[in-house]
Chains A and B, each alone.
Chain A
Amino acid sequence: MNRAKTRVTVAGVILTVLLFIAALITIVPFIWMLLSSFAPNSEIVKVTGGLFPAPTTVDNYVAIQERFDFLRLFGNSLFIAIVKTVIIIYTSAVLGFVFAKMRFRGRNLLFGLVMSTMMVPWAVTIIPQYEMMTRFGWLDSYASLIVPGMLSAFGVFLFRQSITGIPDELIEAAKLDGASDFRIFHRIILPMSRNTIAALAIFTFLWNWEDYLWPFLMISDEKKQLLAVGLKQFNGQYGTDYGGLFAATSLAIVPVIIIYVIFQKQFIAGIASGSGK
């Protein structure tokens, strides 16, 4: 009896250790990047010595700020990503509510149409949208980044899935109390969708934070440029300043990881509840 128990425990410990090794291998690129961002160039390109350069200096961060005003790019990206995330969460929740709990002619057809847009490649719409923005005179303005991206079919899908699970009785009761749909949405539906909001928030923030092509096409003013595009430009101009590149890349990655670590629990619950089930 005791022996069997010990064997199970040992197996568990071994399995856990193996999985931790795999997990460590998974995040090694991040560790390497972060350590390198605090190392001088000579240390990074050194062929001999350990795998990881020793972190000794913050010069790389100071340098990229002086040469490229990275904080400004960072701020611009933060602004755009937050604004779009808030808008998309709101529109997705409203439409998720409409598709989950309201009845109207053509509802399923419309929902199917919204879902099928997930299949439309960016390559199809980007040229006409580019032309449209040019004609609107929105080049170099943030309207061109925000307005065409205010809806997310993926978001509507996630919210419809989770709102369907909210009992009708709850909504009925609120109605009998004289609550309008507007009020029901804000007082009942939104507060009950916390996991979905967290999941969609992280994804939408990430997608806008990493979006390259659209800001690259829309924005040419350096002062308005976003981080992803700036990163590529920095690489083009200072391709051998590895320390600076590592620092710039760390600045682009670390904030997203911090947000993820904070919301991890709700986030994964939200993803799991919304997909494939």
Chain B
Amino acid sequence: MSNATMSAQWEAAPEPEAIAESEHPKGRKPRRRNRGYAEVGARIFSFRNIAVVLLVAYFAVFLAYPIIKAFAGSLHDWNPLVGTYEWVGFDNFRQILTDRLFWDSMWHTAVFCTVATVFRVVLGLGFALLLSSRLVRFKDTLRGLFYMPTITPLVAVSFVWMWMFDPQFGMIDRVTGLDINWLHDPKWALPAIILMTIWKDFGYATVLYLAGIMNLPSDVYEAAAIDGANGVQTFFHITVPLLKSTTLFIVITSLISYLQAYVQMLVMTDGGPGTSTYTISYLIFDQAFQKYNFGVASAMSVVLFLFTGVLTIIMFKVSGDTEGLS
């Protein structure tokens, strides 16, 4: 940003007006002639100030307050149905940390996040590389088709896949010839949900990688070709490192959103069969809005929050790239 913009923003400096006047000799009046209250008012109620104040106020009410309230609530026995809100210290945390279901859910979440993120990155990069090949035609159409699942509503798509997995008339078993009752088998329910999630989300990574590949400097590749590097070497030593910030962006946004995933489980399995598809966010939904244990649910959400924060910081540290997101 140039210095001129800054100063013009800060002070309603007299110079711009003088210039404005001299540049418009045909009697077009400069905007602000009378200094005084109007001017001071215009400066206080400037576009910028109004926007910033509204932003801060809005965040205070709908974000800062709820976060504080969630932390406070995690230290209380809190049930809105019975009307209790009593201080219990760290009892809620002690309860969840010794709860088998909590750790099971954490494990399911870890599997779900890892597998879905890895496949999203690998498939995304793979299809992006193929699509960026000079040989391929109808690129726009192909890209549009791959991206389609990403822009469809998750609730509806979860229903479609629930029927895709149906052992009687579902497509999956009929096409593959397998005889698996996917969503009702504790062994297969989580893999089925992960499969559906990968299908829905890989297009997002494909589009981001395509953009990344388009911005790669071509001279590096020419140099590599002159040095006699083969395709595999070029890929691992040039393409992958140069796409690091795109990869970091995809991995972080994927992890954050997969840690919070609950719709697939809610629609397709209700956490079942048994508790085999309980993830941390589904467990919180269950505790909060089916059992109305607001205190316990808040404690879990605090754990999830800290977990997400730590994970994000580690990702940035490991990659050594603190500007990946900006």
Contact = CB atoms under 8 A, between A and B. Distances in A.
A256 B150 CA distance: 11
Interface stretch (B46-54, B182-190, B217-225): B46-54
A242 B163 contact: yes
Interface stretch (B112-120, B153-161, B231-239): B153-161
A74 to B, nearest CB: 12
B148 A27 contact: yes
Contact of A19 (B19, B142, B288): B142
Nearest to A261: B144
Nearest to B248: A276
A206 B150 CA distance: 10
B106 interface: no
Nearest to A212: B155
A128 B73 contact: yes
Contacts of B55: 95, 110, 114, 151
Interface stretch (B8-16, B86-94, B96-104): B8-16
Given A168-B4, A168-B5, A124 B135 contact: no
Nearest to A234: B159
Most buried by B among A117, A121, A256: A121
B207 A98 contact: no
Contacts of A235: 159
Contact of B31 (A123, A178, A257): A178
Interface in B119-158: 127, 130-131, 133, 135-138, 140, 142-149, 151-157
B60 to A, nearest CB: 11
Interface string A204-240: 0010011011000100000000001001100100000
B276 interface: no
A103 B1 contact: yes
Contact of A171 (B5, B144, B152, B211): B5
B179 to A, nearest CB: 12
Contacts of B136: 12, 15-16, 19
Interface in B1-29: 1-2, 4-6, 8-10, 16, 19-20, 23-24, 28
Interface residues of B, number: 108
A67 to B, nearest CB: 17
Contacts of B16: 175-176
B152 A126 contact: no
Given A20-B142, A231-B156, A271 B4 contact: no
Contacts of B263: 210, 212
B84 interface: no
B212 interface: yes
B291 interface: no
B31 A271 contact: no
A8 interface: yes
B59 A45 contact: no
A128 B301 CA distance: 12
Contacts of A24: 145
Contact of A32 (B171, B207, B267, B305): B171
B46 A51 contact: no
A133 to B, nearest CB: 10
A268 B207 CA distance: 7
Contact of B6 (A45, A103, A126, A257): A103
A176 B20 contact: yes
Given A127-B298, A257-B148, A276 B212 contact: yes
B274 interface: no
A115 B160 CA distance: 34
Most buried by B among A26, A180, A182, A235: A26
B138 to A, nearest CB: 7
Contact of B151 (A46, A104, A120, A256): A256
Which secondary structure characterizes the binding site on chain B? helix
B317 to A, nearest CB: 15
A26 B148 contact: yes
B265 to A, nearest CB: 12
A254 to B, nearest CB: 9
Nearest to B154: A210
Nearest to B302: A124
B164 interface: yes
A19 B137 CA distance: 10
Interface in B288-316: 288-289, 294, 297-298, 300-302, 304-305, 308-309, 312
A276 B249 CA distance: 6
A215 to B, nearest CB: 11
A122 B285 CA distance: 10
B290 to A, nearest CB: 11
A45 B152 contact: no
Nearest to B71: A124
B284 A123 contact: yes
Interface in B243-274: 245-246, 248-250, 256, 259-260, 262-263, 266-267
Given A268-B143, A277-B215, A210 B156 contact: yes
Interface in A4-40: 8, 11-12, 15-16, 19-20, 22-24, 26-30, 32-33, 36
A73 interface: no
23 contacts: A15-B133, A45-B169, A98-B51, A103-B9, A103-B10, A104-B48, A121-B304, A127-B66, A128-B66, A129-B62, A176-B16, A177-B20, A210-B153, A212-B263, A212-B266, A253-B153, A256-B151, A256-B152, A257-B152, A271-B211, A272-B207, A275-B249, A276-B208
